[in-house]
Amino acid sequence: MRVAVLGAGAIGAYVGAALHRGGTEVHLVARGAHLEAIRSHGVQVLSPRGDFEARTPATDDPAEIGPVDYVFLGLKANSYASAGPLLQPLLHDRTVVVAAQNGIPWWYFHGLKGPYEGRRIESVDPGGSVTRVLDLDRAIGCVVYCSTELAGPGVVQHLEGTRFSIGEPAGGPSLRCEEFSTAMIAGGLKCPVEADIRNDIWIKLLGNAAFNPISALARATMVEIATHQGTRQMVRMMMEESLEIAGALGCHPDISVDKRLDGAERVGEHKTSMLQDLEKDKPLELDVILAAVVELADLTGVKAPTLRAVHAVADLLATKVGV
């Protein structure tokens, strides 16, 4: 089993290092000083669960790797459409793409029985640009419950969580999910194969769709948002609206809004990924995290006034700062 990690940043390098530790042949695709550090010293993982090192092959040219069995996609979703030249050399006829992204994935309606089966979501797959690069039949969904950051070139600081839930877009078990899950578990990670990965998507999105844009707009941490009376109520309304949209699509995640808010408060002075991207002048993942949710509200006839209002202001912010 050969695995390539395309986008070996904080999450990607952590997964690659864990897979290597478990005995899988892994190749990392990275760039710049991070790549040079990995080539010289391997990936150094610092973790409360125990530090470890993984000396995996690394390159900025996927053609040096060639076709693999699995590509773990560690790129931000807003770069998928332009990833074709990087992805193509890694593919053979049966290569599987494990897409570890936030928000609504481009494959959301692929294999989903019902009135929306096969529908394309314009916000995340504009004009079919992502589907042309990432074939729907190759996709396995992946929801990340893990927090990492780059402490320096080649150095991953693992903060918390080791769970990477995966699942087929069509639901149910599959040999390819089981094989990838086994490799992840051998590397010390949790990797349950979910019967319906969309439940996990909505559970994580419930927080991301609310906390990410508010954090960017207010330059606030999770605990600041959760303990401020006004923004806490706004998050509650956004979560309730998101659950209504999910329900209209036939997905009913078993989660309490109150528990989700309390959990966010316990996270403390943590900056969301969207706030971190804003501070680094990187593109914001508004399309998959919030615009897609609003598009799904339009599709299902859900009013979602709070989600729409926050999206409008966050979109203006992204436009003004050029990200």
Residue 222 and residue 160 share a domain? no
Say whether both 204 and 184 belong to one domain.
no
Residues 46 and 106 in one domain: yes
User: Which stretches of the chain drop beneath a pLDDT of 50?
Assistant: none
CATH number at residue 69: 3.40.50.720
d(CA 125, CA 1): 30
Residue 205 to residue 221: CA distance in whole angstroms: 17
Residues 191 and 216 placed together within one structural domain of the fold: no
pLDDT given for residue 323 in this prediction? 64
Distance, CA of 24 to CA of 98 (rounded, Å): 15
* Domain termination residue (choose one: 180, 195, 210): 195
249 within 8 A of 305, measured Cβ to Cβ: no
Nearest to 21 by CA among 60, 51, 41, 48: 51
Q: Domain range holding 19?
A: 2-195
Into how many domains does the chain fold? 2
- Beta strand extents in the chain (DSSP E only): 2-6, 25-29, 43-46, 52-54, 58-59, 70-73, 96-100, 139-152, 155-167
CATH assignment at residue 276: 1.10.1040.10
One domain for residues 180 and 214: no
pLDDT of residue 267: 85
Contacts 24+ apart (CB under 8 A), 31-34: 31/60, 32/153, 33/153, 34/8, 34/9, 34/150, 34/153, 34/154
Give residue 303's pLDDT: 98
At which of 172, 195, 218 does a domain end?
195
DSSP letter, residue 270: P
Distance CA 141, CA 300 (A): 23
Same domain, 134 and 214: no
308 in the same domain as 235: yes
Q: In 3D, which of 156, 194, 133, 149 has the Cα closest to residue 51?
A: 156
Please name which of 304, 311, 307 lies closest in space to residue 285, comparing C-alpha atoms.
311
List 283's β-bridge partners, or say none. none
pTM (global) more than 0.85: yes
Based on the residue annotation, tell me whether 113 is a catalytic residue of this protein: no
- Out of 76, 113, 190, 204, which one is annotated catalytic? 204
Same domain, 111 and 206: no
* pLDDT tens, position by position, 283-299: 999 999 999 999 999 99
The answer to whether residues 64 and 132 belong to one domain is: yes
What CA–CA distance (Å, rounded) separates 62 from 252? 40
Q: In terms of domains, do 136 and 55 share one?
A: yes
Tens-place pLDDT, residues 18-64: 999 999 999 999 999 999 999 999 999 999 999 999 999 999 999 99
Q: Looking at the structure, do residues 179 and 298 belong to the same domain, yes or no?
A: no
Which of 173, 195, 217 is at the close of a domain? 195
Same domain, 171 and 36: yes
